């Protein structure tokens, strides 16, 4: 029974990792950028929701959706202003730019909202559910469902919708996509906008657990990277599988050696990458010389 409870709480944490990882994977899939600022976009969006609720008196769900709209705008603007000029630049330049954005967003959030921790409300509340001795809460269920729904929606979007096919075309070959009439710039801006929405969703659902502060995503982000790498950086289901697997494994390890949780996560990345360099569900990208 203790093991069952550990697995359930592991799934609860894991669904948060999965949420944070989904945005990373979405952006990487289309634009080939590992966005190191993803967590900070999440934090910033969450602060926007917080301000709307506390200073403007907007109800929770209103603030939630307004924050998502803001985050979409933010994501698209980042693409337009900073990343578009770099579309021919080498990988390391793009990586550095997202690290720079990390610093800027984190710092500016500190300027605006200060450095104290704030409590952040849950969207749903209710008594914990006890199922045969295994306890879970309503937010746990919401987090897991949101992660699964987001995964399914975007999976379907990529597979069947016109815009999803355009995104895959841009990811595959930008010039060829342009030649067959895809507005590559528009697709990229849209991807980053969607990435912003996913970031803010993750942030708002994570904030009640971590409490709201500018560094709330620091640890979460490393776990999200691990989850994404574990599942294969190009696979949306992979992000969810990776996140849940990481959450459960980490919780079981934490039961015995609590201080080794993070080193364990690192060891896991290295191990998985040695055996399967593209992650559990990822596909290997071949490179031309």
Partner 1 sequence: MTKKLLYAVGFAALLVLPQVLPSELSWLVFMLNRALIFAIMAIGLNLLTGFAGQISIGHAAFMAVGAFASHGLYQFAGIPVIFSIPLGGLIAAVVGYGLGFPALRLSGHYLAIATLGFGVAVPQVLNIWESLSGGWTGVKPAAPYFYGLSFREDRVYYYLILFGLILLTWMAYNIVKSRTGRAFVALRDSEVAAQAMGVSLTRYKTTAFAVSAFYAGVGGALYGHMINYISPHDFNMGISMELFTVIVLGGLASIPGSIVGAVFMSFLPKLTERVSLALQRSGAFDHSPFLSNVFKNFNQVLTGIILVLVVLYLPLGLVDLWRRLKNLFAGKPNGAVKGVK
| Residue ranges in contact with partner 1 by CB under 8 A | 28, 34, 82, 85-86, 89-93, 95-97, 99-108, 110-112, 114-115, 218, 222, 225-226, 229, 233, 259-260, 262-263, 265-267, 269-270, 273-274, 277, 287, 289
User: C-beta of 230: minimal distance to partner 1 in Å?
Assistant: 11
In three-state form (DSSP H/G/I as H, E/B as E, the rest C), the secondary structure along 122-169 is: CCCCCCCEEECCEEECHHHHHHHHHHHHHHHHHHHHHHHCHHHHHHHH
User: C-beta of 153: minimal distance to partner 1 in Å?
Assistant: 25
Nearer to partner 1, 98 or 201 (CB): 98
Check: CB of residue 20 under 8 Å from CB of residue 220: yes
Nearer to partner 1, 174 or 223 (CB): 223
Nearer to partner 1, 102 or 158 (CB): 102
CA dist list (Å): 162 to 149, 165, 166, 184, 256 = 20, 5, 6, 13, 49
The DSSP letter of residue 82 is: I
User: C-beta of 209: minimal distance to partner 1 in Å?
Assistant: 19
In three-state form (DSSP H/G/I as H, E/B as E, the rest C), the secondary structure along 185-209 is: HHHHHHHHHHHHHHHHHHHHHHHHH
**Angstrom distance (rounded) from CA 52 to CA 224:** 27
Nearer to partner 1, 28 or 44 (CB): 28
User: C-beta of 43: minimal distance to partner 1 in Å?
Assistant: 14
Of 212, 54, 59, 72, give the one whose Cα is nearest residue 123. 59
Nearer to partner 1, 144 or 230 (CB): 230
User: C-beta of 50: minimal distance to partner 1 in Å?
Assistant: 16
**Angstrom distance (rounded) from CA 128 to CA 231:** 30
Check: CB of residue 151 under 8 Å from CB of residue 236: yes
* Count of C-beta atoms within a 10 Å radius of residue 255: 14
Question: Within its chain, how far is the Cα of 55 from the centroid?
Answer: 27
User: C-beta of 156: minimal distance to partner 1 in Å?
Assistant: 26
User: C-beta of 261: minimal distance to partner 1 in Å?
Assistant: 8
Nearer to partner 1, 94 or 182 (CB): 94
Nearer to partner 1, 96 or 179 (CB): 96
Residue 215: phi, psi to the nearest 5? -100, 20
């Amino acid at each position: 029974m203790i093991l069952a409870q550990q697995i359930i709480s592991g799934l609860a944490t894991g669904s948060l990792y999965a949420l944070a990882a989904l945005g990373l994977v979405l952006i990487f899939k289309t634009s080939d950028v590992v966005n190191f600022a993803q967590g900070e976009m999440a934090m910033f969006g969450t602060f926007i929701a917080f301000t709307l609720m506390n200073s403007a008196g907007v109800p929770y769900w209103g603030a939630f959706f307004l924050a998502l709209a803001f985050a979409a705008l933010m994501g698209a603007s980042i693409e337009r202003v900073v990343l578009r000029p770099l579309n021919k630049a080498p990988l390391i330049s793009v990586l550095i730019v997202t690290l720079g954005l990390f610093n800027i967003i984190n710092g500016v959030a500190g300027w605006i909202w200060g450095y104290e921790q704030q409590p952040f409300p849950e969207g749903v509340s209710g008594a914990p559910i006890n199922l045969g001795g295994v306890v879970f809460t309503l937010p746990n269920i919401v987090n897991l469902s949101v992660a699964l729904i987001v995964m399914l929606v975007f999976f379907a979007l990529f597979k069947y919708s016109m815009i999803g096919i355009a995104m895959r075309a841009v990811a595959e070959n930008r010039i060829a996509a342009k030649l067959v009439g895809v507005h590559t710039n528009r697709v990229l801006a849209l991807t980053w906008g969607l990435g912003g929405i996913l970031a803010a969703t993750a942030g708002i659902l994570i904030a009640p657990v971590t409490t709201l502060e500018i560094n709330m995503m620091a640890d979460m982000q490393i776990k999200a990277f691990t989850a994404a790498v574990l599942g294969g950086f190009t696979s949306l289901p992979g992000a969810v599988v990776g996140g849940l697997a990481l959450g459960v494994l980490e919780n079981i390890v934490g039961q015995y050696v609590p201080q080794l949780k993070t080193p364990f996560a690192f060891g896991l990345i290295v191990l998985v990458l040695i055996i399967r360099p593209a992650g559990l569900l990822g596909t290997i990208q071949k490179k031309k010389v």
